[in-house]
A and B are shown apart, each in its own frame.
Chain A
Amino acid sequence: MREEVREFIFKNFLFDDSGDSLDDNDSFLEKGIIDSTGMLELVAFLEEKFGVRIEDEELVPENLDSVARLVDFITRKKVPS
């Protein structure tokens, strides 16, 4: 999952496929990687790729603002509660 998320971020926001310019804990916001519409692209990708549904109130940096947080968030979502 981590690799898929990283690949998406690199190809769609960084336009770079070398894979070495972003640490898993780097904040997308602080690094200016994802803008307002980027957020929508990201959510669409997560929903399609991992079969989850993301609610509006889940659109917060705690869930989405780094590769590590995204992986955590999706992992939690995929575990049926």
Chain B
Amino acid sequence: MCGIAGIHNFRGTKTESLEAVSRMLSAIFHRGPDGFGAFYDREVCLGHARLSIIDLSGGAQPMSNEDGSVWITFNGEIFNFEELRAGLEARGHRFRTRSDTEVIVHLYEDYGAGCLKHLNGQFAFAVWDSVKKELFIARDRLGIRPLFYAERSGSFYFASEAKALFATGALERRLDPAALDEIFTFWHTVAPRTSFEGVHELPAGHYLVLKAGTLSRHKYWELEFPEEFSNISFEDAMDELKALLVDSTRLQLRADVPVGAYLSGGLDSSVTTALIKNYTGSKLQTFSVAFEDENYDESPFQKEMAKALGTEHNEIRCTYGDICDSFQKVVWHAEKPILRTAPSPLFLLAGLVRQTGFKVVLTGEGADEVLGGYDIFKEAKIREFWARMPESNLRPLLLKKLYPYLPAFQGQSRFYREAFFNNGLNDASDAFFSHRPRWEMTSKNKMFFSEGLKSAIAASSPESMMKLTLPAAFKSWPVVARAQYIETRGLLSGYILSSQGDRMAMGNSIEGRFPFLDHRVVEFAATLPLHYKIRGINEKYILKKCMAPHLPERIVKRTKQPYLAPDSKSFFKDGQAADYVEELLSERKIAEYGYFNPKPVSLLLNKCRKGTAIGFKDNMALVGILSTQVLHRQFVEKFDCSGELPEGVLKIVNDNRSVLLCVKK
């Protein structure tokens, strides 16, 4: 795994161009501390920061084809590279390395953009074809690896993270008001929008072509549910799902360095860990977060699973103070306001993995989206069932079965619970029926927005932006399939795999891999009848059934726990917030940055100081406002990305000599 960066049509000398790219790499040094390379020709400069995992000695980048006419800078993994290589060699391609990178170069030569459908992996890469004068940039199907870009004054910039774009000094640094509107609705921006004005994210499953000064964006993959679900029997579906998971796990273990696994104590990471142990014979180390606050702690289940599978288990214990202390770094890496602190413990966990000497971990991410694990799917199912007979007294009683892990939810009276889920109940054909209660609850915190921010977003609507991204067939899918689509295309890539995934792991130079997100698993699961995935309100039913023989019964039968971390409580001790929190939430700083209203924020702060902010809404407000303030301070007010790349290490690859450039700080 790595960091990539590049500039097309840079206005300046060769030295200036290389210096700009080395500043970009310096900003994302954490993504690839093992080696740095750059390719330069008159039109383009490509940079690469490497975390070496496959072909440790030969895999340096940027890399070219046989005659040096096609160059690539690549972040990620192509898991089926050995199979692809065999085919390419049979067609006469000659390989210089054993790396997966080189496979993409040759596939691109043969198929152009059509190369993407052959790739099984997680990737973001740029290919420069010096004959066609074409820059081709692509991102994996589900948005596991990031890719940002911007255009300014005729030049085009791209990189793995937005901070690298800003490191060029060519772009203004401003938060996008519409991004705040979207994040305070969905928890994420709708790609290509990012937190920053003028900075775009390549959406998952898309590629860009830059040719003759024209940039075009194309979709090459979509999550599609069939018009009619497959008539496969449940037993056959179980066998096939398991075979696919075994194969995706086998492929994802390919690496020339040891691979570890996260263990949350829940079903999904237990499944990936069990698959590794049972089907690959790999010796395995597992990693977990335990919490000081026992309301969030799952360590007894983690230990049980580690013991059952005989892994060597490592644990990091996360305190309130740890979350508070790491939060500014977490926002620096996430490059987005976040409404929960949940990324922080994962950032610390990646630090533990790194200290233990690992670079790669497999996790259970994606199972909930792909196989119907989240309560929001069950919620949608129950609300739809209720909507068919709104006067029913019995149907809404099912709602009490949701969110069994939330004491505040369980403690409320029936009337109030039903009032909440009744939101939007009259229109089950509404595209966003499943998400209406959640989004309306999140949106309530826009009451903290300043008048300036409110007027800046008055003309746009987050929902209409999201509607534009939906495929034509979306309307015809059942409610639960629509909800799965929204979770997978929205929250999964916009938050789970980025703010909570790639950025937290790469912040500590760790690569995550996700067997449930092998596109073959995702595509197969989408064809299955919905009741195979959620039987009644028993979530991930088919997964539990097919993996039960390999897991302790207590793990399979356990009520699903969402991954949560303590929110506002982390920032306060004895009624006092940490210094940076007090400062950034002070009426002066709130007014100065201008996104929120100072007075309401100070009342919220008071409530948190007293420890009475117990609800989701208040906690999201505090964390959302604080992270926006941190983001503004780090990216707008003062921006300092220097200091990571050691001086004199960048190697220019295309003229076959090592040029040591000094990075200008």
Who on chain A is nearest to B411 by CB? A40
> Which stretch of B319-327, B472-480, B614-622 is in the interface?
B614-622
A56 interface residue (CB < 8 Å to B) = yes
Chain B interface main SS type = helix
Question: Chain B nearest CB: distance from A33 CB in Å?
Answer: 9
A11 interface residue (CB < 8 Å to B) = yes
Residues 45-72 of A contacting B (Cβ, < 8 Å): 56, 59-61
Residues 400-437 of B contacting A (Cβ, < 8 Å): 408-409, 411-413, 415-417, 419-420
B448 interface residue (CB < 8 Å to A) = yes
Is there contact, CB below 8 Å, between A36 and B615?
A: yes
When distances are taken between beta carbons in the complex, the residues of chain B under 8 Å from A39 are 412-413, 416
Interface residues of A (CB under 8 A from B): 11-12, 14-17, 29, 32, 35-41, 44, 56, 59-61
Question: Chain A nearest CB: distance from B630 CB in Å?
Answer: 21
Is there contact, CB below 8 Å, between B409 and A36?
A: yes
Is there contact, CB below 8 Å, between B614 and A36?
A: no
Question: Knowing A12-B612, A32-B444 touch, does A37 contact B408 (C-beta < 8 A)?
Answer: yes
Question: Chain A nearest CB: distance from B597 CB in Å?
Answer: 8
Who on chain A is nearest to B444 by CB? A32
Chain A interface main SS type = helix
B219 interface residue (CB < 8 Å to A) = no
Q: How many residues of B contact A (CB 8 A)?
A: 27
Taken together as a complex, chains A and B put the C-alpha atoms of A36 and B601 apart, in Å, by 21
Is there contact, CB below 8 Å, between B616 and A59?
A: no
When distances are taken between beta carbons in the complex, the residues of chain A under 8 Å from B226 are none
Known: A17-B603, A29-B416. 16 other contacts (CB 8 A): A11-B603, A15-B448, A15-B604, A16-B600, A17-B599, A35-B444, A36-B412, A36-B615, A37-B408, A37-B409, A39-B412, A40-B411, A40-B615, A41-B612, A41-B614, A41-B615
B441 interface residue (CB < 8 Å to A) = yes
Nearest 5 pairs between A and B by C-beta? A37-B615, A15-B600, A59-B413, A37-B408, A36-B412
Question: Knowing A15-B448, A59-B415, A60-B413 touch, does A37 contact B603 (C-beta < 8 A)?
Answer: no
When distances are taken between beta carbons in the complex, the residues of chain A under 8 Å from B417 are 36
Question: Chain A nearest CB: distance from B602 CB in Å?
Answer: 9
The tally of CB-CB contacts under 8 A between chains A and B is 65
Question: Chain A nearest CB: distance from B372 CB in Å?
Answer: 24
Taken together as a complex, chains A and B put the C-alpha atoms of A60 and B448 apart, in Å, by 29
Question: Chain A nearest CB: distance from B564 CB in Å?
Answer: 14
Contact of B617 among A14, A29, A37, A61 (CB under 8 A): A37
When distances are taken between beta carbons in the complex, the residues of chain B under 8 Å from A14 are 447
Contact of A36 among B420, B448, B604 (CB under 8 A): B420
Contact of A37 among B415, B606, B614 (CB under 8 A): B614
B607 interface residue (CB < 8 Å to A) = yes
When distances are taken between beta carbons in the complex, the residues of chain B under 8 Å from A12 are 603, 607, 612
Taken together as a complex, chains A and B put the C-alpha atoms of A38 and B613 apart, in Å, by 9
Contact of A35 among B420, B599, B612 (CB under 8 A): B420
Q: Which of A15, A16, A61 has the most CB of B within 10 A?
A: A15
When distances are taken between beta carbons in the complex, the residues of chain B under 8 Å from A38 are 615, 617
When distances are taken between beta carbons in the complex, the residues of chain B under 8 Å from A32 are 440, 444
Residues 297-340 of B contacting A (Cβ, < 8 Å): none
Q: Which of A12, A17, A37, A60 has the most CB of B within 10 A?
A: A37
Is there contact, CB below 8 Å, between A40 and B599?
A: no
Taken together as a complex, chains A and B put the C-alpha atoms of A48 and B412 apart, in Å, by 18
Question: Chain B nearest CB: distance from A5 CB in Å?
Answer: 16
Sample 28 A-B pairs with CB under 8 A, ordered by A number.
A11-B607, A12-B612, A14-B447, A15-B448, A15-B601, A15-B603, A16-B599, A16-B600, A29-B416, A32-B444, A35-B441, A35-B616, A36-B412, A36-B416, A36-B420, A37-B614, A37-B615, A37-B616, A37-B617, A38-B615, A39-B413, A39-B416, A40-B411, A40-B412, A56-B413, A59-B415, A60-B413, A60-B415
